[in-house]
Amino acid sequence: MKKHFDVGIIGGGIIGQSIAYHLAKEGVSVLVLESHKIGTGATSAAAGMLGANSELENNDAFFQFAKESQRSYHILRDELSELSNINIQLVDNGMYKLAMTETEAESLKAVVKKHETVEWHPKEVVLEREPTLSSLIKGALYIPEDGHVSPTHVCAAFSKSASLLGATILEHTPVHSITKTATNEYELSTPVTDFICNHVVVANGVWSGYFFKQLGINAGMKPVKGECLSVKSNEINLERTIFYDHCYIVPKGDGRFVIGATMVEDDWNIVPTIGGIQSLIDKIKPIMPSISSAQLIDTWAGLRPQSDDGRPYIGQHPEGEKIYFATGHYRNGILLAPRTGMMVRDLILNKQQNEDYMNAFSLTRKHAQTMR
Amino acid sequence: MKKHFDVGIIGGGIIGQSIAYHLAKEGVSVLVLESHKIGTGATSAAAGMLGANSELENNDAFFQFAKESQRSYHILRDELSELSNINIQLVDNGMYKLAMTETEAESLKAVVKKHETVEWHPKEVVLEREPTLSSLIKGALYIPEDGHVSPTHVCAAFSKSASLLGATILEHTPVHSITKTATNEYELSTPVTDFICNHVVVANGVWSGYFFKQLGINAGMKPVKGECLSVKSNEINLERTIFYDHCYIVPKGDGRFVIGATMVEDDWNIVPTIGGIQSLIDKIKPIMPSISSAQLIDTWAGLRPQSDDGRPYIGQHPEGEKIYFATGHYRNGILLAPRTGMMVRDLILNKQQNEDYMNAFSLTRKHAQTMR
Amino acid sequence: MKKHFDVGIIGGGIIGQSIAYHLAKEGVSVLVLESHKIGTGATSAAAGMLGANSELENNDAFFQFAKESQRSYHILRDELSELSNINIQLVDNGMYKLAMTETEAESLKAVVKKHETVEWHPKEVVLEREPTLSSLIKGALYIPEDGHVSPTHVCAAFSKSASLLGATILEHTPVHSITKTATNEYELSTPVTDFICNHVVVANGVWSGYFFKQLGINAGMKPVKGECLSVKSNEINLERTIFYDHCYIVPKGDGRFVIGATMVEDDWNIVPTIGGIQSLIDKIKPIMPSISSAQLIDTWAGLRPQSDDGRPYIGQHPEGEKIYFATGHYRNGILLAPRTGMMVRDLILNKQQNEDYMNAFSLTRKHAQTMR
Amino acid sequence: MKKHFDVGIIGGGIIGQSIAYHLAKEGVSVLVLESHKIGTGATSAAAGMLGANSELENNDAFFQFAKESQRSYHILRDELSELSNINIQLVDNGMYKLAMTETEAESLKAVVKKHETVEWHPKEVVLEREPTLSSLIKGALYIPEDGHVSPTHVCAAFSKSASLLGATILEHTPVHSITKTATNEYELSTPVTDFICNHVVVANGVWSGYFFKQLGINAGMKPVKGECLSVKSNEINLERTIFYDHCYIVPKGDGRFVIGATMVEDDWNIVPTIGGIQSLIDKIKPIMPSISSAQLIDTWAGLRPQSDDGRPYIGQHPEGEKIYFATGHYRNGILLAPRTGMMVRDLILNKQQNEDYMNAFSLTRKHAQTMR
């Protein structure tokens, strides 16, 4: 006999687990099917920056969505710790987006006018607060709201909490196909067994593209590999995350500094290469010379799922099937996980939705905006 | 445009890589698709015992096949080292199958009459040669031909050699479906892209069961999880592999001793449990008391693919499709990998085959024999 | 030319680093010499329980000292995070000391009368709050104040903070001898170079015994090896630390559970043995049966420095040399590190001291009390 | 009561273990005292190249000694495997010393005239045999005798064999001082206990310098830190070790390639730095461009013990004490370990010695030759 669930979620990364958690809290019977182990894909590869301001440039629906998600981490920290006794390692010290040239400085100063929460800090202020940085910097944009979490801790906390609230979470269980049954339910076919669900959520990152194709959805999805490394050094002390030219240095609460990330398009191989590591070191050295004497702790890589316009796909199947998508979060999966979980929960439970978000993340939207 | 290969192999474990190697040597254009990383499933979980005599009880086709496979490792060692510069760590010191009771001793002595290459060694002889063993043993069957290899080294050597001979090997590329094209070729559908092949080999261990179902083949396949651990100790010195009551201690050439393996039916979760480790320690302690002072180095687990009768499925699709199967090797995947690779190569290239083997491993055979 | 410091500290574990931090805060020029790497001895082996109430039985000076140290962790958390951006992972959920028999229950209930902060919780209350525990328990003593920290995080935070405040911390620098110079300073002799210090603190755990002998101090010091393991499981959820029969289960904020510890006297070899791991599993299983299905993550061991009466040695050289000792903390090194650091700081800076503490931890005290 | 041994060896690296093995074979009662774990210092940091020809330039006593040592590895492989069942991973495929400029080519061609066993291979020959190398090379010196071993396997095999022959090997036991007793024996003082020995061998690498000072020996000893990394790639296939400009790529029998090593003088800190790793990548890239796509597996560092002239100190205390030294092997510790073990054995057992070696390695020799 096949097992039956109300909602079957394909993908046990931070997005899938956030959805599972938010649904389980409402008493929904949830199944999560993960092909490998929980949180070991793009989730574990991320540095955990909550860069709503630093990553997004326009004050649009996407930005609002990101800010809401960022804020909800403060509530989740306590909620998840209460339930699962796992600490998501939220750090709230803000971020410096550096200018290394006068042109960059001008461009960052212009941002201050648009966003009231950010400030321009001249070189002297930045160096006094972060003396580890190079004296060649020209100043920095200070973004007090852009903190960071530990992605694996968040994912584990969502997962354990969902599980304690009744969700079934199966690792090593890849889904090969979604097929509709005679009774208008969905069968999720796996090597282990088959599962019957009333609703299905596709949330397995770049591998979601396979189900787009299987379900006849015409939406782009490709991997952008990101390589990272972590270092340790008593000579480096950073209070805030540092961001420059798509690279970042995130000071972790265990004394490590996470440095990332390369962007290699259309590479499906999840190993960090010597070339990738070299390029990161070359980029970080001018902004923080003492990196040279730091100890290399670890290197890793992950595949960011990239849609055609760099924004996520969050929404229902265009033809009204009870199949939902939550993927394509690109560089912002950790940031957007909480709000994405809530949005999918509301879609499934037929609660009222923010129309702007539904349009912005629809699978059939026009991709007017160019890729970031 | 879709990529085209003569043979597409699903599964990059030791079986798939052996097939790839043997085909690439014949100049065939080969593709291997592995869902995770090469050799990280049951292959990496195995201790590498080449237990043709110790594991198999009847002098039948299966036993002959196993003996041929065992012997071919001697040639492969040199061949693969020459090509790939990887040393498969073949050790040829034989095995002791212990008797701890008089009944067990009688039963092992009976084996000597059936197999001319094995010998009965009384307690004193065994303890003189392996003084690390408990003085409570009653003697042991000595099997000179049952040595061991390093499964990950074998798999890496097959893979690198195949690759150098022209094979294409893709990791992180799960195959979701095999479909026949209008031109009578096969399309292998993956999240990365689709591939067109003239022949397909299903060789992904216990996960092959999914394709049995998809292709309408009525043959059993279920996982039997095996948990292992490795230890180090200057107080333990073993020259030969020790085998007792389905458990073994394999002395590795780097000073470690690999101890395995539990047998947990129908458990798909690939993590070693506290309970499994405890049961192994409890089993090994009476036969080698000094295990208590050894250092635990590592623990791991893997899923053995078990057919209905415990013998592998090696053969063509029953209805003549150019789809081949090489799976269900249960406890004997490392032992049988070389000969399996040759047999599948011969099937695809239409070379003459041993009829007994074809019958013994056919997917539609009668499962007269009970499970071991 | 030899390098000169005001205070030279031998030992870079949590005790030495706490002393370094507390002195550096006062502007003292400090040198820490660690023979291996910072915090990799007994510090890294500890589970981090702050068990003032659970470990100590008498309401005496030792107990008061422990309570003060325990409380100061709340201030240190913020202070160290501010300076070093390292989070010491303080968790404050209290501890359950279990009773498995009626006799044990009676004995724990008696404790409630002596300590007003602890409570007796009957079986039903305990199981409602910690449903993972065995239903065979008879109840538990609830100790709200006994939380836990991450010892390596505390040690790294002390070390980085001290370093940022000007301390010099050298790893891989074993001290071979302390000799007095003609000018009444002390020369610390190492393979790297020699250092001259006005004051010396011996704080290298069980290895301090060597300097006792070299300096003619007649005080006992021997190792009590402790082996630990950590596990993960979605089926285990504990909010509080569990303590029973000298063993504990500490729920860590990353989802792991640390289980410890064996007590092996006079064993200097820092490797966890198969026998030790087996004994821990055997002890934990009756109080938490679901441990059997948990995944083993790691195993390790450390040497607790044990004095003749199980209490630390904190004090000055009996003959007035400017040599100080801070060692012998046995099972309580993490708990006592903050207050020990303050006490040694006060001794060196000639600040007023608590007489009871000076007597209780003096190197020449009478060891009236028997070992715990 | 103190324990008594005929020979006490300070240092459990490959040098100390070779001495222990060669003495234990003669029935001598041997004690090895290692401050950390066996073979974890410079031994484990080495790539294991047996570069008698590639590293040494003059056909002198040092070179002869090195060649004898290199050859004895062939006998040791079998001897140690027989005893300990550990395989030292001897690979005998020779080495290419590259020329990247015409000047370098001329200089290497000149070597051919001096050493009859080496050959000059023009660019085409080299690229045919090692197609992974850059097409910018100008040719290479082929040195058929310079193979490699696995240093940790050699050290473990020496250690286990010595132990099985009766030697006592204690880890985590640092020696703080060597003092002469009233009965003309030597007391080795450690935190664990003291040991009495008739003879003492100082063989603890760069840390031997401390005993030089303690024993009044005027001989230089300083660390030259070497950083290494290992990579994996199916695109790289090397049969021979590659050597260029003090850096090397050693193809290991498990598919890894070890790349080393930096040379950082007077740095006692045993961690690989980002700067060191970067410099290795920068050096290897021009000679093997495909390194960029390889996966980084691991990084590490070790301290080579460097004497004043780069040659080892092997000999007796200059004033006739029964104290012997075997240290200062600099870049050649693995290569020289076998012959060093034999030489120290012969010194202690008063067997006849090669006079040239005694002069070349004497602690009181004139350092006429400049450092390499």
At D51, which CATH number? 3.50.50.60
Asked if A300 and A189 sit in the same domain, the reply is no
C302, C321, C309, C333: which is closest to C19 by C-alpha? C333
Cβ <8 Å between A296 and D273: yes
Cβ-contact C16, C36 below 8 angstroms = no
Please state the separation of Cα A210 from the chain's center in Å. 20
Tokens for C221, please give them: 């010091």
Return the CATH number at D117.
Answer: 3.30.9.10
Binary contact (A275, D296; C-beta < 8 A): no
CA distances from D191 to A260, C209, D13, D16 (A): 45, 6, 20, 20
Contact list, A214 vs chain B (CB under 8 Å): 176
Q: For residue B260, give the 3-state DSSP assignment.
A: strand
Written as six digits, the tokens of A303 are 């595949």
Residues of B in contact with C296 (CB under 8 A): 272-274, 277, 299
Does A253 contact C at CB distance below 8 Å? yes
Span A68-96, average pLDDT: 96
CA distance C9 to C344: 11
Within 8 A of B89 by CB-CB distance, chain D residues are: 87
Provide the 8-state DSSP code for A153: H
- Per-residue pLDDT of A296-324, as tens digits, reads 999 999 999 999 999 999 999 999 999 99
Asked if the C-beta of D67 comes within 8 angstroms of chain B's C-beta atoms, the answer is: no
Task: Establish, for the pair of chains A and B, how many residue pairs have beta carbons separated by less than 8 Å.
Answer: 42
Taking each continuous run of H as one helix and of E as one strand, the counts in chain B are: 11, 17
Are D77 and D226 contained in the same domain? no
Looking at chain A, which residue has its C-alpha nearest residue D289? A275
- Average pLDDT of the segment spanning A168-186: 96
Q: Is residue C370 domain-resident? A: no
Residue of A227, A256, A267, A295 to mutate, interface with D, max D Cβ within 10 Å: A295
Q: Which residue is closest to B272 within chain C, CA to CA?
A: C295
Residue A274 within a domain: yes
> Which residues are registered as beta bridge partners of B187?
B179, B196
Per the domain annotation, does B192 fall within a domain?
yes
Do D134 and D199 fall within a single domain?
no
Question: Do D269 and C172 make contact, defined as CB atoms within 8 angstroms?
Answer: yes
pLDDT at A54 over 80: no
Confidence of residue B78 (pLDDT cuts 50, 70, 90): very high
**Residue B174 covered by a domain:** yes
Compare all CA atoms of chain A with the CA of B207 and give the residue at the minimum distance. A191
Residue B10 has pLDDT above 60, yes or no: yes
Ramachandran assignment for D89, one of left (phi > 0), alpha (psi -120 to 50 degrees), beta (any other)? left
Collapsing DSSP states into helix, strand and coil, what is residue D333?
Answer: helix
Tokens of D19: 């001495």
A164 vs C237: CB contact, 8 Å cut-off? Answer: yes
The token duo for A325 is 């998508």
- Helix, strand, coil: what percent of chain C each, to 5? 35, 25, 40
Average pLDDT taken over every residue of chain A: 94
Length of chain C: 372
Residue A131, token pair as written in the block? 């003396």
For helices C61-84 and C333-348, what crossing angle results, to 10°? 90
Residues in chain B within 8 Å Cβ distance of C293: 273-275
Q: Please report the DSSP string for A180-191 in residue order.
A: E-TTS-EEEE-S
Q: Do B292 and C273 touch (CB under 8 A)?
A: yes
In one-letter notation, the amino acid at residue D364 is T
Q: Residue A255 is part of which domain span?
A: 223-304
Rounded to a whole number of angstroms, the distance from the CA of B78 to the nearest CA of chain D is 12
Q: For residues A182, A184, A190 and A192, what is the CA-based torsion angle, rounded to 10 degrees? A: -80
* pLDDT value, residue A59: 78
pLDDT tens digits, C134-148: 999 999 999 999 999
**What tokens does D164 get?**
């099985």
Q: Does C291 touch chain B (CB under 8 A)?
A: yes
Nearest-CA neighbor of A19 among A189, A173, A161, A223? A161
Q: Is the same domain home to A31 and A78?
A: yes
What's the whole-number mean pLDDT along residues A190-209?
A: 96
Q: Residue B218 and residue B220: Cα distance in Å, rounded?
A: 7
Same domain, D44 and D81: yes
Strand partners, B173: none
Output the average pLDDT for chain B: 94
Q: List beta partners, residue B179.
A: B187
- pLDDT tens digit sequence for A329-364: 999 999 999 999 999 999 999 999 999 999 999 999
Look at C262 and A1; give whichever has higher pLDDT.
C262
pLDDT tens by residue, C42-84: 999 999 999 888 777 777 999 999 999 999 999 999 999 999 9
- Contact (CB, 8 A) for C339 and C332: no
Encode pLDDT of B345-370 as tens digits: 999 999 999 999 999 999 999 754 44
SS3 of residue A17 by DSSP: helix
Q: In the predicted model, is pLDDT for residue B5 greater than 50?
A: yes
Q: What is the rounded distance in angstroms from the CA atom of residue C178 to the CA atom of residue C171? A: 18
Contact C293 B272 (CB under 8 A): no
Burial A78-110, CB ≥16 within 10 A → b, else e: eebbebbbbbbbbbeebbbbbbbeeebbeebee
Q: From CA C99, how far away is CA D306, in angstroms rounded?
A: 61
- Closest by alpha carbon to B66, among B141, B185, B120, B146? B146
- C-alpha to C-alpha distance for D201 and D345, rounded to whole angstroms: 10
Contacts of D296 (CB under 8 A, 6+ apart): A272, A273, A274, A277, A299, D229, D230, D231
Confidence of residue D138 (pLDDT cuts 50, 70, 90): very high
Residues B126 and B191 in one domain: no
> CB of B222 within 8 Å of any CB in chain A?
no
Domain count, chain A: 3
Taking contacts as CB-CB distances below 8 angstroms, the residues of chain C near D214 are: 176
Pair (C158, C71) in one structural domain: yes
Query: Nearest to residue A230, comparing CAs of A148, A155, A288, A291?
Result: A291
Q: What is the CA radius of gyration of chain A?
A: 21
Q: Residues C72, C141: one domain?
A: no
Q: Is the pLDDT of residue C1 over 60?
A: no
DSSP state of C326: E
Q: Is the Cβ of A288 closer than 8 Å to some Cβ of chain D?
A: no
C117 at B interface, C-beta within 8 A: no
Listed residue (A234, A199, A188, A184) closest to A19, CA to CA? A199
Residues of D in contact with C190 (CB under 8 A): 210
Three-class secondary structure of residue D292 per DSSP: helix
Of C273, C282, C296, which is closest to B293 when you measure between CB atoms? Answer: C273
pLDDT in tens, D23-59: 999 999 999 999 999 999 999 999 999 988 877 777 7
Q: Which of A136-145, B28-37, B46-55, B326-335 has the lowest mean pLDDT?
A: B46-55
In D217-273, which ranges are continuous DSSP H helix?
A: none
Please determine, for residue D304, whether its predicted confidence score (pLDDT) is greater than 60.
yes
Residue numbers in C near A86 (CB within 8 A): 253-255
Question: Over the stretch C108-135, which tens digit does the pLDDT of each residue have?
Answer: 999 998 878 899 999 999 999 999 999 9
Choose, out of A10, A179, A187, A207, the residue to mutate when testing the contact with B (most B CBs < 10 Å).
A207
Among candidate residues B235, B237, B234, B266, the one with its CA nearest the CA of residue B249: B237
What pLDDT is stored for residue A368 in this prediction?
A: 46
Chain D interface includes B203 (CB < 8 A): no
Q: What percent of chain B has pLDDT over 70?
A: 98
- Partners of residue B93 in chain D, C-beta under 8 Å: 85
Is C294 within 8 Å of chain B by CB? yes
Residue A371: the pLDDT is 40
Closest residue in D to B238 (Cα) is D85
Share of chain A above pLDDT 90, in %: 91
**The domain boundary residue, chosen from B306, B336, B353:** B306
Q: Is residue D202 part of a domain?
A: yes
Q: What pLDDT score was predicted for residue A367?
A: 59
Q: Which of A274, A281, A292 sits opposite D231 (nearest CB)?
A: A274
* Residue C369 resides in a domain: no
Do D212 and D292 fall within a single domain?
A: no
What is the helix (H) or strand (E) element at residue B22, kind and residue range?
helix B14-25
Q: Let me know whether A280 and A235 are in one domain.
A: yes
Reported as a pLDDT band with limits 50, 70 and 90, residue D370 is very low
Residues making up chain D, counted from first to last: 372
Beta strands in chain C (DSSP E): 3-10, 30-33, 95-99, 119-122, 139-143, 168-170, 177-180, 186-189, 194-202, 222-232, 241-244, 247-251, 256-260, 264-265, 295-306, 313-316, 323-327
The band of C2, judged by pLDDT with boundaries at 50, 70 and 90, is: low
Say which residues have a Cβ less than 8 Å from residue A17's Cβ, sequence separation at least 6.
A32, A38, A39, A155, A158, A159, A162, A337
* Domain boundary residue, one of C306, C321, C345: C306
Show the beta-strand stretches assigned E in chain B: 3-10, 30-33, 95-99, 119-122, 139-143, 168-170, 177-180, 186-189, 194-202, 222-232, 241-244, 247-251, 256-260, 264-265, 295-306, 313-316, 323-327
Query: Would you state the pLDDT for residue D325?
Result: 98
* Inter-chain touch C269–D171, beta carbons under 8 Å: yes
Q: How confident is the model at residue D2 (pLDDT cuts 50, 70, 90)?
A: low
- D31 shares a domain with D129: no
Residue C84 is predicted with a pLDDT of 96
Nearest CA to A176 out of A163, A157, A162, A191 is that of: A191
Average pLDDT score over residue span A266-276: 93
Residue B371 belongs to some domain of the structure: no
Q: How many CA atoms lie within 13 A of A125 on its CB side?
A: 10
- Cα(B141)–Cα(D171) distance, integer angstroms: 37
Convert the pLDDT of each residue in B108-128 to its tens digit.
Answer: 999 898 878 899 999 999 999
A255 touches chain D (CB under 8 A): no
Same domain, C187 and C127: no
Q: How confident is the model at residue D357 (pLDDT cuts 50, 70, 90)?
A: very high
H helical segments located in A138-295: 151-164, 209-214, 274-284
Q: What percent of chain A has pLDDT over 70?
A: 98
Q: Is residue A367 part of a domain?
A: no
| Mean per-residue pLDDT, B3-13 | 97
User: pLDDT tier at A2 (50, 70, 90 boundaries)?
Assistant: low
- For residues C328 and C208, the answer to whether their CB atoms sit within 8 Å is yes
Pick from D274, D275, D281: which is nearest to A274 by CB?
Answer: D281
> CB contact, 8 Å: D294 with chain B?
no
